[in-house]
């Protein structure tokens, strides 16, 4: 069919509208290809021996954004009763869309009265590059690996590569409306080292941003920086009570 298709296990991309020859192992049939279309939103969970073996607190979501918005409705219920025929279910719409510089990924507010074990969506958003990821306009903590992101107590983001190439990893709370933006036009919030505190003598403050090449402007009077504020070029000497903003 028309569109761009990815071999889910090998990561190879193919244009639709053609016939391809695929070599598979005819003895084991373990490498039969599975193709997913650009625009797909695919949730998965850890493998279990039976339903309910352990709580599903994290759902992993592969996001292959396209220029047209695509949607997936995540659904869950108690799995044993007919209460879903009423309102005892959990539904939440996940949507994604790619523009020239950004990828927008959104969660609708959940509907239904059922409360699942689900706490977070751990999203793998595939894109060429990014400078930062934000959740509802704020940049969450950046982690150095997927393992660190998974082990974190709350939301955050990281970066990784796999068979599809580069991916932005975003851990976002489930159940409520959220807007995630993966962008090359956003600048990560600057961080200070050392952070706020009481110091007995003069010291230097280093200001950094995860966005490479970002221009950082700062103030020392507690006001919000503007484009005309001082540009950060070297550590700032602090010798008295000062509020630094960047």
Tell me how far apart the alpha carbons of residues 74 and 232 are, in angstroms, rounded to a whole number: 45
DSSP string, 113-182: S---S--EEEEEEE-S--SEEEETTB---B-SSHHHHHHSSS-EEEEEEETTEEEEEEEEESSS-EEEEE
Whether the upstream peptide bond of residue 194 has omega within 30° of 0, thus cis, is yes
Task: Output the pLDDT for position 51.
Answer: 86
Tell me how far CA of residue 84 lies from CA of 23, 59, 89, 91, 111, in angstroms.
44, 21, 5, 11, 12
Task: Output the pLDDT for position 22.
Answer: 86
Both tokens of residue 157? 């983001």
Both tokens of residue 125? 């958003």
Tell me how far apart the alpha carbons of residues 54 and 43 are, in angstroms, rounded to a whole number: 17
Read off the pLDDT of residues 163-220 as tens digits, 9 standing for 90 and up: 999 999 999 999 999 999 998 665 667 788 888 888 888 989 998 876 666 788 889 9
Task: Output the pLDDT for position 245.
Answer: 87
Mean pLDDT calculated for residue range 11-26 = 90
Helices marked H in the chain: 146-151
Q: How confident is the model at residue 62 (pLDDT cuts 50, 70, 90)?
A: very high
* Global confidence as pTM: 0.77
Q: Which residues pair with 97 in a beta bridge?
A: 104
Read off the pLDDT of residues 66-118 as tens digits, 9 standing for 90 and up: 999 999 999 999 999 999 999 999 999 999 999 888 999 999 999 999 999 99
């Amino acid at each position: 069919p028309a569109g761009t298709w990815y071999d889910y296990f090998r990561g190879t991309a193919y244009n639709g509208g053609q016939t391809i020859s695929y070599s598979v192992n005819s003895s084991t049939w373990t490498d039969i290809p599975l193709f997913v279309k650009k625009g797909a939103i695919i949730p998965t969970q850890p493998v279990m021996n039976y339903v309910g073996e352990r709580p599903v607190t994290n759902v992993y979501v592969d996001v292959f954004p396209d220029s047209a918005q695509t949607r997936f409705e995540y659904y869950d219920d108690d799995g044993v009763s007919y209460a879903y025929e009423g309102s005892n279910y959990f539904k939440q719409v996940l949507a994604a869309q790619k523009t020239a510089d950004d990828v927008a990924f959104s969660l609708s507010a959940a509907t239904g009265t059922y409360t699942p074990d689900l706490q977070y969506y751990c999203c793998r958003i595939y894109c060429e590059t990014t400078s930062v990821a934000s959740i509802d306009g704020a940049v969450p903590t950046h982690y150095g690996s997927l393992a660190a992101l998974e082990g974190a107590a709350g939301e955050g983001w990281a970066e990784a590569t796999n068979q599809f190439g580069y991916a932005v990893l975003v851990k976002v709370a489930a159940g409520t409306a959220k807007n995630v933006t993966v962008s090359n036009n956003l600048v990560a919030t600057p961080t200070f080292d050392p952070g706020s505190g009481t110091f007995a003598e003069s010291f230097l403050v280093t200001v950094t941003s995860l966005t490479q090449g970002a221009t950082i402007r700062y103030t020392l009077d507690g006001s919000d920086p503007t484009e005309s504020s001082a540009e950060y070029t070297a550590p700032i000497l602090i010798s008295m009570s000062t509020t630094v903003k960047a």
